[in-house]
Structure 1
Amino acid sequence: MTTSLVRQVLPRPRPRAATTGVNGTTATGFAPVRHSFERACREAGPSHAQGAALAVVRDGELVVDLWHGTADPVTGAPWTGDTLVPAMTGSHAVLATAVLLLADMGALALDRPVADYWPEFAMRGKGKVTLRDVLTFTARLPGMAAGLDQRDVENPRMMAALLELHSLEEDPRAGGVLHGPWTAGWIVAEVVRRVDGRDLDLFFLEEIAGPLGLDVHFGLVPDQLPHAARISYDPGFRARFPAPDGGPDDGAADLFGRVWNNPSPFPADAGVWSRTRRRYAIVPSLGAYASARGLARLQGVLAADAVRAPGEEPLLLSRRTLDQARSFWVEGLDPLLGGVSAYGEGGLQLLDEGRRPAVRAGAFGHQGPGGVAFQAWPQARTGAAWVRGRLTAAPGARVLDDVADAVERAARDGS
């Protein structure tokens, strides 16, 4: 039995009938955010077919808590404030937090080879690959050569054993930043287990989610299943990630196949992500399940810790660790998907980009295609998260632009 299945969780309210309006609250000064959220929901389509949520935490206070629509179009279960979605590629940022906490504890160092903690990993020329390489997608391990199916990826220990026998990718396009949907998570999960003794899900629960009261989980338990959203795709979403339709994915013959079709993280049947087996499984790089509140609280904690005075007790990570984690390390154009990404030394995606308002200076988090976007804004000690059950090819961060404007106004007005 996995550690996920033995967790103790508080009972949750039973789902109610779906509603068509926007639910939730906004603090003084954040009314424009509600209007932005309503507009985004209208543009997304009918509320009976999909749902979304937006949460903002500033100085530890939940100042925006909004949700809308339907979590499961099959059962009619409504979206609520604690509806959970898989963070998909955003799970990598959650993983990075776990590694940074172990670094803060002195249990590991980002510039040390993975093999220092997992000796078998050194086989086939991987002895010099560091944790920082893995977290910044520069390890030359973006995908697997062995053909995998959707059940294989739900077994992180088996994947770790396969990675021990894997060689570095020889394709020259893997020489820079090359995102892979699966491998970094399996490496991190095995390092956590080797260093700490606990599996990733239990470590994250006991050291991060539990103490901070975060609704963020690697793998769900039975009581949480009624609160998991059913995943679907917008038309055209899968065109960015071409994969075989049906049957075991067989795309390991070329680089794109090894990275994005082995197996596809977004198979033709989106129901894979709504099966009980997948929701129970530990799928580190894609399967961090979270509510908008949970992600916003986590980003709010990181934002506040990033600007604490030297010596001040952090909620999660020390100022020293976050300064290093946010320090620019690499930037590159993904040769397979396009798009430029920048990462700090600790694998945090840097989102400053020189944009305004000033509240976004030093921002980090996750934005990209899918159903989830979240950001930490240290200058405002604020975290924000937007989640959906329907995945889209466009970055999900536009509504967060309006949130940043509202945070800037609130700071200026003293509200």
Structure 2
Amino acid sequence: MSRPAVGGLAEDGWGVVVDAFRATVPDVHQSGAALSVWSDGREVVDIRLGTADARSGRLWREDTPAVVFSVSKGLAALVVGVLVEDGLVALDQPVAELWPDFAAHGKDAVTVGDALAHRAGVSAPRDDVDRRTLLDLTEWARRIAAQEPLWSPGEAHAYHTLSMGPIVDAIVRRASGRSFAQVFAERVAAPLAADVTFVPDARLLDEVAHITTSDAWDRTASGREEDPWITRAATLGGIMPRALVAGETGFNDPDILAVGLPSAGGIGTASGLARIWSSVIAPTRGVRLFDPVTTAQLVRPRSEGPFAFSAEPPYPRWGAGVNLVSDSFPGLSPASFGHGGAGGQMTLADPDTGIAYVYIRNRMDPAPPADVIVPALRRVTGSHEECR
């Protein structure tokens, strides 16, 4: 049986990465994916395979955008990094200095870095979120600010699956006078001509890859036994499906995508995303997003180990909004950082090797493609040591 043809370009010496990528799309008629790799600020792999929308048979093209789920949190961290560089925000600054209402119920000492590292104590809502609030970041942020924390803020951590979005938007608005989506567009995406956005128009919503879920993903989502607060962090009390997508609901709903949720609602191409992460570690298309001193602040370890609530390992490690190397985030070296996304999305930058890579796909599955892609990248770069 012939192997499915991978579209796009890869420079000589990167064939092992192309082969690894091909293995992550087992059924090209039901799903698709894209991979971009940049080396020292230059794109060396830009490939795609499969179907962007199984309903119509539309193929995955060079410019096909995808919903990137929690990869968005990494982009949110980069926006905050830009504001740190501008002197408008400090990571050790209390959120309440920018947003006084956030101080309610003892949250006054929560710093911006705490919030980005999932230590703010408001990972899930005490009261169910209705659809009107879900679609209004300002109202959602107001409710989060008024909420009593679920644990003593700063003393533990738990993943702020969706609530991170309104929190970051509120911080950025108060520090800069502009929305998160505006700052991202003007300061991050535009200088790099990156096809990534948090304000999708009607055309983009028509072109975004349609998300499906594997049987294994659905079984994992429905059969998972976990603390109720962890479930509420993702479902907001039931307004969102536990699997994040169910048919045309969740992140297949254009109204939800139009919100531009900084915690999960980014939409972009693999190449657009990868050039952003490349610009954090190397001049890329003439752009260096910010100084290495700022990067060092973002990657300082802030949260690791068990959550405030019962959760199964492996546990992630976080800096200020970025994943650090762990059992759940394999790297090319111990210095690797970035952010993963639900169902298999991955962004990574590695200053030691000069490599930035992004993998996106539209079929959610619990088997992590990074476990296939990263070993191939290690072979090419000579980074053979297991980095977890």
- The bucket for the TM-score relative to the shorter chain is 0.7 to 0.9
Structure 2 residue 168 is matched with structure 1 residue 188: yes
Match of 2:264 among 265, 283, 286: 286
Give yes or no for contact 1:349–1:365 (8 Å, CA) kept in 2: yes
**Distance apart, 1:243 and its partner CA:** 9.3
Structure 2 residue 216 is matched with structure 1 residue 236: yes
Give yes or no for contact 1:369–1:394 (8 Å, CA) kept in 2: no
Structure 2 residue 325 is matched with structure 1 residue 351: yes
Query: Deviation digits for residues 58-103 of structure 1, max 9, x if unmatched?
Result: 1221101110111011122110122111111221111111111101
Matched to 2:77, the amino acid is A
Matched to 2:322, the amino acid is L
Within 2, Cα distance between the matches of 1:217 and 1:350?
24
Match of 2:344 among 349, 368, 371: 371
Structure 2 residue 26 is matched with structure 1 residue 35: no
1:56-135 counterparts in 2 under 5 A? 56-135=37-116
**Distance apart, 1:140 and its partner CA:** 1.2
Other-structure match for 1:6: none
Matched to 1:393, the amino acid is P
Match of 1:302 among 259, 270, 280: 280
3-state SS of paired residue (2:304): strand
Within 2, Cα distance between the matches of 1:139 and 1:71?
37
Unpaired runs of at least 5, structure 2: 384-388
Match of 2:5 among 7, 21, 37: 21
3-state SS of paired residue (1:330): coil
Within 1, Cα distance between the matches of 2:273 and 2:378?
20
**Distance apart, 1:338 and its partner CA:** 3.3
3-state SS of paired residue (1:40): coil
Match of 2:233 among 240, 255, 259: 259
3-state SS of paired residue (1:328): coil
Other-structure match for 1:17: none
Give yes or no for contact 2:17–2:377 (8 Å, CA) kept in 1: no
Give yes or no for contact 2:245–2:252 (8 Å, CA) kept in 1: no
**Distance apart, 1:228 and its partner CA:** 0.4
Match of 1:166 among 130, 147, 155: 147
Matched to 2:75, the amino acid is V
More divergent stretch after superposition (202-211 vs 294-303): 294-303
Other-structure match for 2:386: none
**Distance apart, 1:183 and its partner CA:** 1.1
Give yes or no for contact 2:343–2:368 (8 Å, CA) kept in 1: yes
**Distance apart, 1:151 and its partner CA:** 5.1
Give yes or no for contact 2:29–2:50 (8 Å, CA) kept in 1: yes
Change beyond 3 A, Cα 1:379–1:285: same
Within 2, Cα distance between the matches of 1:77 and 1:362?
38
Matched to 1:21, the amino acid is A
Query: Deviation digits for residues 305-357 of structure 1, max 9, x if unmatched?
Result: 6xx9xxxx96111111112222223311233353211122x22211267x999
Matched to 1:40, the amino acid is T
Query: Deviation digits for residues 360-398 of structure 1, max 9, x if unmatched?
Result: 230001236413012111112221011110111232312
Within 1, Cα distance between the matches of 2:235 and 2:136?
18
Give yes or no for contact 1:370–1:396 (8 Å, CA) kept in 2: no
Structure 2 residue 199 is matched with structure 1 residue 219: yes
Give yes or no for contact 2:114–2:302 (8 Å, CA) kept in 1: no
Matched to 1:72, the amino acid is D
Give yes or no for contact 1:219–1:287 (8 Å, CA) kept in 2: no
3-state SS of paired residue (1:393): coil
Unpaired runs of at least 5, structure 1: 1-19, 245-252, 411-415
Structure 2 residue 366 is matched with structure 1 residue 399: no
**Distance apart, 1:260 and its partner CA:** 2.8
Once the two structures are aligned, what percentage of the paired residues are identical? 28
Change beyond 3 A, Cα 1:97–1:193: same
Match of 1:152 among 133, 138, 141: 133
**Distance apart, 1:48 and its partner CA:** 1.4
Give yes or no for contact 2:10–2:46 (8 Å, CA) kept in 1: yes
Change beyond 3 A, Cα 1:40–1:100: same
Within 1, Cα distance between the matches of 2:157 and 2:219?
22
Within 1, Cα distance between the matches of 2:153 and 2:171?
26
Give yes or no for contact 1:52–1:79 (8 Å, CA) kept in 2: yes
More divergent stretch after superposition (314-323 vs 94-103): 314-323
Matched to 1:408, the amino acid is T
Within 1, Cα distance between the matches of 2:380 and 2:49?
22
Match of 1:388 among 342, 347, 361: 361
What is the aligned length?
A: 371
Over aligned residues, Cα RMSD in angstroms? 2.8
Other-structure match for 2:301: 328
Change beyond 3 A, Cα 1:302–1:159: same
